[in-house]
Amino acid sequence: MPIAGFSVNVLLGVWLDDLRLPLKQAMQLIAPLRPEAVGIDAFTAEISPRALAQTARRDLAQFIRSRGPSLAALRVDVGGRRLSDPQHLDVNLSRIREALELASDLGAAHLVVAAGYVPAADDKENASARATLTEAARTLVNLASVARTRVCWLGGQEPPEVLAAFLNGVDSSSMLEVDLNPGAYMMRGLDPLKALNALSSRVALARAVDHFRGGSEAPFGTGDVRWSEILIGLSTLNRPAQIAVLASSTLDGDRAQALANTYKRILSLRKNPVG
């Protein structure tokens, strides 16, 4: 639970793999920040579903718990055209199924899936990709219905209204949740607050990264994302569990300092969003 702030609905943490360090070293490095949650990549050489036997999974879960932060999420990206590629869909879904089992074994609350760009319903040129994504989404719904770990669709590539309509069309039971990436929307010239409103019934995670409007990633707090308003908006959502906001960065340079700055800033904004 957050120890202070304007809302206990928002949990703050860090995507560990953005540090580009082995997991235990990354955990030690961020320990002074006392993050409330962490996220890790499920497809690294160190943490691979096919490389970790049950004993190793138990040891890893115990190690993470012993350090204090909750494990908010594992994330997976199968690469290429992701889940819009019909030729590799079965293989990619199999990898995601294995990652979901790993996430459950580690006690992760969510598995974030980078599924790929969702074309609009009237986009005839990309109808095949949308049909493949529809098949993939329905499979993810079935997986989510029996898993202890929730499945999150990574949002930010397509207009939020398109993603909302797509998910509502394939998932009337709201089994699939959304990892909101305000920076990605800003990069595409879209309003992150409107994205939050459009996807509010499904948002379970948010990626704390800043971007210039229509441009590149920015050091947190120097870009155009109005993060104080995003945090206020997240705090008002009527969700069954706390929403994890995880600091992230792909900037060159000192990633540890960049992530520390981001975490400290969102912590400050949670305490005083108008400050």
> Taking a C-beta distance cutoff of 8 angstroms, is the pair 212, 249 a contact?
no
Out of 3-17, 89-103, 105-119, 145-159, which region has the weakest mean confidence (pLDDT)? 3-17
Please, which residues have CB within 8 angstroms of residue 74's CB and are 6 or more apart in sequence? 39, 40, 41, 42, 99, 102, 103, 106, 108, 110, 111, 112, 149
Give, as one character, the DSSP assignment of residue 56: H
Provide the CATH number for the domain around residue 52: 3.20.20.150
Residue 6 has pLDDT above 70, yes or no: no
pLDDT tens for each residue of 163-181: 999 999 999 999 999 999 9
Residue 273 has pLDDT above 90, yes or no: no
pLDDT tens for each residue of 234-267: 999 988 899 999 999 999 999 999 999 999 999 9
Has residue 238 been placed in a domain?
yes
**In which domain, by residue range, is 191 found?**
10-271
Task: Report pTM.
Answer: 0.94
Query: What pLDDT does residue 265 have?
Result: 97
- Total domains, the chain: 1
Query: What pLDDT does residue 275 have?
Result: 60
Has residue 58 been placed in a domain?
yes
Residue 3 has pLDDT above 50, yes or no: no
Has residue 1 been placed in a domain?
no
- The residue with tokens 């990069």 is 187
pLDDT tens for each residue of 41-85: 999 988 999 989 999 999 999 999 999 999 999 999 999 999 999
Query: What pLDDT does residue 9 have?
Result: 87
Has residue 2 been placed in a domain?
no
Has residue 3 been placed in a domain?
no
pLDDT tens for each residue of 186-229: 999 999 999 999 999 999 999 999 999 999 999 999 999 999 99
Question: Which of 241, 159, 148, 245 lies closest to 202 in space, CA to CA?
Answer: 241
Has residue 5 been placed in a domain?
no
Out of 8-17, 32-41, 163-172, which region has the weakest mean confidence (pLDDT)? 8-17
Question: Which of 99, 160, 101, 171 lies closest to 135 in space, CA to CA?
Answer: 171
Query: What pLDDT does residue 2 have?
Result: 42
Query: What pLDDT does residue 240 have?
Result: 85
